[in-house]
Chains A and B, each alone.
Chain A
Protein backbone atom coordinates (compact mmCIF):
# COMPACT_ATOMS: atom_id res chain seq x y z
CA UNK A 1 0.00 0.00 0.00
CA UNK A 2 1.22 3.49 -0.85
CA UNK A 3 1.34 6.07 1.85
CA UNK A 4 3.33 8.20 4.23
CA UNK A 5 4.98 6.83 7.34
CA UNK A 6 6.17 8.83 10.30
CA UNK A 7 8.09 7.27 13.12
CA UNK A 8 7.90 7.06 15.99
CA UNK A 9 4.32 7.87 16.98
CA UNK A 10 5.46 9.27 20.34
CA UNK A 11 8.86 10.75 21.09
CA UNK A 12 10.27 12.02 24.37
CA UNK A 13 13.42 14.09 24.74
CA UNK A 14 15.22 16.13 27.34
CA UNK A 15 15.54 19.84 26.85
CA UNK A 16 18.72 20.82 25.03
CA UNK A 17 18.84 17.73 22.82
CA UNK A 18 18.35 17.74 19.07
CA UNK A 19 15.84 15.21 17.77
CA UNK A 20 15.08 14.03 14.23
CA UNK A 21 11.59 13.07 13.09
CA UNK A 22 11.29 10.66 10.21
CA UNK A 23 8.99 11.02 7.20
CA UNK A 24 8.96 8.54 4.32
CA UNK A 25 6.58 8.31 1.37
CA UNK A 26 6.23 5.71 -1.37
CA UNK A 27 3.72 7.67 -3.42
CA UNK A 28 6.39 9.02 -5.78
CA UNK A 29 5.29 12.54 -4.87
CA UNK A 30 7.53 15.45 -5.71
CA UNK A 31 6.59 17.83 -2.90
CA UNK A 32 6.84 17.20 0.83
CA UNK A 33 5.85 19.33 3.80
CA UNK A 34 6.30 19.55 7.56
CA UNK A 35 3.63 21.08 9.78
CA UNK A 36 3.40 21.76 13.47
CA UNK A 37 0.11 21.58 15.40
CA UNK A 38 -0.39 22.91 18.91
CA UNK A 39 -3.44 22.04 21.04
CA UNK A 40 -6.62 23.65 19.76
CA UNK A 41 -4.82 25.15 16.79
CA UNK A 42 -4.58 24.62 13.07
CA UNK A 43 -1.49 23.47 11.22
CA UNK A 44 1.44 25.79 10.66
CA UNK A 45 4.01 25.19 7.93
CA UNK A 46 7.59 24.64 9.07
CA UNK A 47 9.45 23.65 5.89
CA UNK A 48 8.58 22.37 2.45
CA UNK A 49 10.40 20.85 -0.49
CA UNK A 50 9.24 20.84 -4.10
CA UNK A 51 12.11 18.71 -5.46
CA UNK A 52 15.06 16.70 -4.23
CA UNK A 53 17.97 18.72 -2.84
CA UNK A 54 15.85 21.84 -2.49
CA UNK A 55 13.71 23.09 0.37
CA UNK A 56 12.16 26.33 1.55
CA UNK A 57 11.31 27.83 4.92
CA UNK A 58 7.69 28.00 5.90
CA UNK A 59 6.06 30.32 8.40
CA UNK A 60 7.76 28.97 11.55
CA UNK A 61 11.15 27.59 10.45
CA UNK A 62 13.22 28.98 13.33
CA UNK A 63 14.76 26.22 15.42
CA UNK A 64 14.14 23.53 12.79
CA UNK A 65 16.18 22.07 9.95
CA UNK A 66 15.44 19.64 7.13
CA UNK A 67 17.13 17.74 4.33
CA UNK A 68 15.82 16.25 1.07
CA UNK A 69 18.53 13.92 -0.22
CA UNK A 70 16.03 11.39 -1.58
CA UNK A 71 12.63 11.88 -3.17
CA UNK A 72 10.92 9.60 -0.67
CA UNK A 73 12.44 11.01 2.52
CA UNK A 74 12.14 14.39 4.26
CA UNK A 75 13.46 14.23 7.84
CA UNK A 76 12.89 17.13 10.24
CA UNK A 77 15.37 17.99 12.99
CA UNK A 78 14.07 19.88 15.99
CA UNK A 79 17.11 21.66 17.38
CA UNK A 80 17.79 22.89 20.89
CA UNK A 81 17.19 26.40 19.54
CA UNK A 82 13.46 25.71 19.21
CA UNK A 83 12.02 27.31 22.34
CA UNK A 84 8.76 25.38 22.52
CA UNK A 85 9.33 22.08 20.75
CA UNK A 86 6.54 20.10 22.41
CA UNK A 87 3.88 19.68 19.73
CA UNK A 88 2.28 17.32 17.22
CA UNK A 89 4.24 17.15 13.95
CA UNK A 90 2.64 16.17 10.67
CA UNK A 91 4.35 15.37 7.41
CA UNK A 92 2.56 15.60 4.06
CA UNK A 93 3.30 15.04 0.39
CA UNK A 94 1.76 16.08 -2.91
CA UNK A 95 2.12 15.16 -6.55
CA UNK A 96 3.50 18.11 -8.48
CA UNK A 97 0.42 18.64 -10.61
CA UNK A 98 -2.06 17.63 -7.97
CA UNK A 99 -3.90 19.74 -5.43
CA UNK A 100 -4.43 17.38 -2.51
CA UNK A 101 -1.83 16.94 0.21
CA UNK A 102 -1.64 13.49 1.74
CA UNK A 103 -0.74 13.36 5.41
CA UNK A 104 1.14 10.90 7.56
CA UNK A 105 -0.09 9.74 10.98
CA UNK A 106 2.01 12.32 12.85
CA UNK A 107 4.60 12.26 15.63
CA UNK A 108 3.83 13.66 19.05
CA UNK A 109 7.01 15.14 20.51
CA UNK A 110 7.31 15.89 24.20
CA UNK A 111 10.36 17.75 25.49
CA UNK A 112 10.87 18.06 29.24
Chain B
Protein backbone atom coordinates (compact mmCIF):
# COMPACT_ATOMS: atom_id res chain seq x y z
CA UNK B 1 0.00 0.00 0.00
CA UNK B 2 1.19 3.51 -0.73
CA UNK B 3 2.40 5.35 2.29
CA UNK B 4 2.09 8.79 0.66
CA UNK B 5 -0.75 9.56 -1.74
CA UNK B 6 -0.97 12.65 -3.86
CA UNK B 7 -4.19 12.35 -5.83
CA UNK B 8 -3.72 15.40 -8.08
CA UNK B 9 -1.31 14.68 -10.94
CA UNK B 10 -1.73 18.26 -12.17
CA UNK B 11 -3.24 21.51 -10.93
CA UNK B 12 -3.82 24.94 -12.45
CA UNK B 13 -4.12 28.15 -10.48
CA UNK B 14 -4.50 31.76 -11.49
CA UNK B 15 -1.69 34.07 -10.49
CA UNK B 16 -2.27 35.75 -7.10
CA UNK B 17 -4.83 33.14 -6.02
CA UNK B 18 -4.37 30.50 -3.34
CA UNK B 19 -4.04 26.79 -4.12
CA UNK B 20 -4.17 23.64 -2.03
CA UNK B 21 -2.16 20.55 -2.92
CA UNK B 22 -3.43 17.37 -1.32
CA UNK B 23 -1.42 14.76 0.53
CA UNK B 24 -2.59 11.81 2.61
CA UNK B 25 -0.32 9.44 4.43
CA UNK B 26 -0.45 6.05 6.06
CA UNK B 27 1.50 5.12 9.16
CA UNK B 28 1.00 3.33 12.45
CA UNK B 29 3.82 5.30 14.10
CA UNK B 30 2.93 7.94 16.67
CA UNK B 31 6.11 9.87 15.90
CA UNK B 32 6.67 10.96 12.31
CA UNK B 33 7.41 14.00 10.20
CA UNK B 34 5.80 15.38 7.06
CA UNK B 35 7.61 17.40 4.41
CA UNK B 36 6.86 19.29 1.23
CA UNK B 37 9.48 19.79 -1.45
CA UNK B 38 9.34 21.82 -4.66
CA UNK B 39 11.07 20.60 -7.81
CA UNK B 40 11.37 23.17 -10.62
CA UNK B 41 12.20 22.10 -14.14
CA UNK B 42 15.92 22.34 -13.30
CA UNK B 43 15.49 19.21 -11.17
CA UNK B 44 16.77 20.32 -7.79
CA UNK B 45 14.58 19.51 -4.78
CA UNK B 46 13.84 22.57 -2.64
CA UNK B 47 12.62 22.09 0.93
CA UNK B 48 9.50 24.13 1.66
CA UNK B 49 7.96 23.17 4.98
CA UNK B 50 7.99 20.58 7.77
CA UNK B 51 5.36 19.38 10.24
CA UNK B 52 6.11 17.06 13.15
CA UNK B 53 3.41 14.69 14.29
CA UNK B 54 3.42 16.20 17.78
CA UNK B 55 3.31 19.81 16.60
CA UNK B 56 0.01 21.25 17.71
CA UNK B 57 0.01 24.20 15.34
CA UNK B 58 0.09 24.04 11.57
CA UNK B 59 3.50 24.88 10.15
CA UNK B 60 3.88 28.08 8.14
CA UNK B 61 6.80 29.41 6.08
CA UNK B 62 6.05 32.65 4.30
CA UNK B 63 3.43 31.96 1.63
CA UNK B 64 3.43 28.23 2.44
CA UNK B 65 1.34 26.63 5.13
CA UNK B 66 0.68 23.02 5.94
CA UNK B 67 -2.90 22.09 6.80
CA UNK B 68 -2.25 19.17 9.16
CA UNK B 69 -5.26 17.04 10.03
CA UNK B 70 -3.89 14.19 12.09
CA UNK B 71 -7.09 12.20 12.49
CA UNK B 72 -7.65 12.23 8.75
CA UNK B 73 -3.93 11.59 8.07
CA UNK B 74 -3.71 14.48 5.70
CA UNK B 75 -1.02 17.11 5.26
CA UNK B 76 -2.12 19.47 2.52
CA UNK B 77 0.12 22.27 1.30
CA UNK B 78 -1.49 25.68 0.89
CA UNK B 79 0.26 28.26 -1.27
CA UNK B 80 -1.16 31.74 -0.90
CA UNK B 81 -0.91 34.47 -3.53
CA UNK B 82 0.50 32.20 -6.26
CA UNK B 83 3.33 33.51 -8.39
CA UNK B 84 4.49 32.42 -11.84
CA UNK B 85 7.65 31.09 -10.23
CA UNK B 86 5.58 28.63 -8.21
CA UNK B 87 5.04 26.53 -11.35
CA UNK B 88 6.83 23.27 -10.53
CA UNK B 89 6.38 19.72 -9.27
CA UNK B 90 5.51 19.46 -5.59
CA UNK B 91 6.27 16.37 -3.53
CA UNK B 92 4.90 15.35 -0.18
CA UNK B 93 7.15 13.10 1.92
CA UNK B 94 7.01 11.35 5.27
CA UNK B 95 9.63 10.23 7.76
CA UNK B 96 8.62 7.45 10.13
CA UNK B 97 10.72 7.62 13.28
CA UNK B 98 10.30 3.98 14.28
CA UNK B 99 8.76 2.26 11.28
CA UNK B 100 10.30 0.04 8.65
CA UNK B 101 11.72 2.95 6.69
CA UNK B 102 14.24 3.54 9.50
CA UNK B 103 13.82 7.26 9.52
CA UNK B 104 14.25 7.71 5.79
CA UNK B 105 11.95 9.80 3.62
CA UNK B 106 9.11 8.21 1.66
CA UNK B 107 7.92 10.33 -1.26
CA UNK B 108 4.60 10.64 -3.02
CA UNK B 109 4.40 10.76 -6.82
CA UNK B 110 4.00 14.50 -6.93
CA UNK B 111 1.62 17.16 -8.22
CA UNK B 112 2.51 19.39 -11.14
CA UNK B 113 1.37 22.93 -10.43
CA UNK B 114 0.96 25.40 -13.27
CA UNK B 115 0.36 29.05 -12.45
CA UNK B 116 -1.48 30.98 -15.16
CA UNK B 117 -0.85 34.71 -15.70
Contacts and interface: CB of A to CB of B under 8 A. Distances in A.
Q: Do A and B bind each other?
A: yes
A101 B108 CA distance: 16
Interface of A is mostly: strand
A59 to B, nearest CB: 9
A37 to B, nearest CB: 8
Contacts of B28: none
B90 to A, nearest CB: 11
Nearest to B95: A99
Interface size band for B:
20 to 34
A40 B111 CA distance: 9
Contact of A41 (B46, B102, B109): B109
B44 A99 contact: no
Interface in A32-68: 33, 40-45, 48, 56, 58
Interface residues of A, number: 22
A100 B50 contact: yes
B68 interface: no
Interface of A: 33, 40-45, 48, 56, 58, 88, 90, 92, 99-106, 108
B104 A58 contact: yes
A99 B33 contact: yes
B91 interface: yes
